[in-house]
Structure 1
């Protein structure tokens, strides 16, 4: 039996799915047979991704989702259950990145980055974790970052702190939900071949940037999506509380 047939009854929500890595993850899940809800604060972007995956709407659903609001997660879960009568996987991917020297970060900007990245992950784990716990099965995958492990070199302190917090939240929820058939894991990518990386690193410095990575290149976001598929699978029940490093050797344990 192929993966699409095996996953045909499974349902996943990807936050921040309207573009970038989230869109790639949503596409990989859909391609593997999942019914996928694309949550994004930009509803038009979410609708565009859902239409590309399945214009009929049978296996793809766009949701306006502000991850800073618990009520939005409640509404997203209700919409998914109304459409497909089940939910099995949550991918907490939504994030905001601001590169700014630490001494120049305002309290307001710090709070905004933490609210989206860390609070958003917390709320998603809480709302969907409770549903998964009561259902007796669930998979939560949180997108952390190399920046949360090494303090960040090309990102702001608020971004790095939020991603480090996600690593810790992953452990807390994994411990709390483990006996209920729910796993919670994180993936910590280094620089990937995504527009945000090319925007952050000037073109004239890109060769030098890659040369400073032990493997000599940036990462493939499609590979990160494949790790999400592994962690989302029913067979991944013995993996929980872990952070999976995908960083080209920039951070070694």
Structure 2
């Protein structure tokens, strides 16, 4: 490949779209993978009208077969990619004592099972080539047990941080690094739509820097961790939370 390539899951909108756009600006070929294929396709075309440096893939992140199909398609299209960003996520706020088995399984599948499958499929591909980068998007909720986005979401993101360490240890000797990014409250439409203004104000007042984080901050860290020079960053959880959680 003349360019390095990246696949970003959940790239049709929100944080994933910001991450995908930032990688493209950094000179990567970008595969925008999402179950919302039409939205992913529209964004891909806005980045590269001829599809040379950006394409959309229909991907259900709860399906290992879909990850395998995405890998095979990208091998055929570009010879493969060099970076996987496991970004896809979803939740529904439900009090912990009221979470049903169905709700729990759905959130775990989208936020955690997806990380397992992505790391397995692309981690093996990268290991066979002797080089690669995996960046898993976790959450502050997975570190401090915050339930504002649902306890099942927090549990899944905590699991994603643990899987990051497991795969980092397993793949490092074969030239593959695996890191996580743990964003705090972000300035995203979904935050403003789902959090009442008075509650959001209280959240911001508790952030030492006094403002919500820009999704571009997370995207910049992802690009950094994906770089060839980031070979010694491995198995870490990179906090992007304005000092809301320090350790």
Please, what is the CA RMSD of the aligned residues?
Answer: 1.1
Q: Which residue of 1 aligns with 2:40?
A: 46
How many residue pairs were aligned?
Answer: 247
Q: How much does 1:49 deviate?
A: 1.1
Cα distance in 2 for residues equivalent to 1:208 and 1:182: 41
Q: How much does 1:214 deviate?
A: 2.0
The DSSP-based 3-state class of the residue aligned with 1:67 is coil
Q: Which residue of 1 aligns with 2:137?
A: 143
Q: Which residue of 1 aligns with 2:76?
A: 82
The DSSP-based 3-state class of the residue aligned with 2:235 is coil
Structure 1 segments unaligned to the other structure (5+ residues): 1-6
Check whether the contact 2:71–2:80 (CA below 8 A) recurs between aligned residues.
no
Q: Tell me, yes or no, if structure 1 residue 93 matches structure 2 residue 72.
A: no
Deviations 1:74-108 (A, max 9, x none): 00011111110121000000001221110111000
Deviations 1:153-185 (A, max 9, x none): 411110000000000000000000000000000
Q: Which residue of 2 aligns with 1:15?
A: 9
The DSSP-based 3-state class of the residue aligned with 1:245 is strand
The DSSP-based 3-state class of the residue aligned with 2:179 is strand
Deviations 1:11-55 (A, max 9, x none): 100000000000000000001110000000111011011011111
TM-score, length basis structure 2:
0.98
The DSSP-based 3-state class of the residue aligned with 1:154 is coil
Q: How much does 1:202 deviate?
A: 1.0
Cα distance in 1 for residues equivalent to 2:2 and 2:78: 11
Cα distance in 1 for residues equivalent to 2:78 and 2:65: 20
Give the alignment of 1:103-142 within 5 angstroms. 103-142=97-136
Q: Tell me, yes or no, if structure 1 residue 36 matches structure 2 residue 38.
A: no
Q: 1:183 aligns with which of 177, 180, 188?
A: 177
Check whether the contact 2:32–2:57 (CA below 8 A) recurs between aligned residues.
yes
Check whether the contact 1:101–1:156 (CA below 8 A) recurs between aligned residues.
yes
Check whether the contact 2:37–2:56 (CA below 8 A) recurs between aligned residues.
yes
Q: Which residue of 2 aligns with 1:231?
A: 225
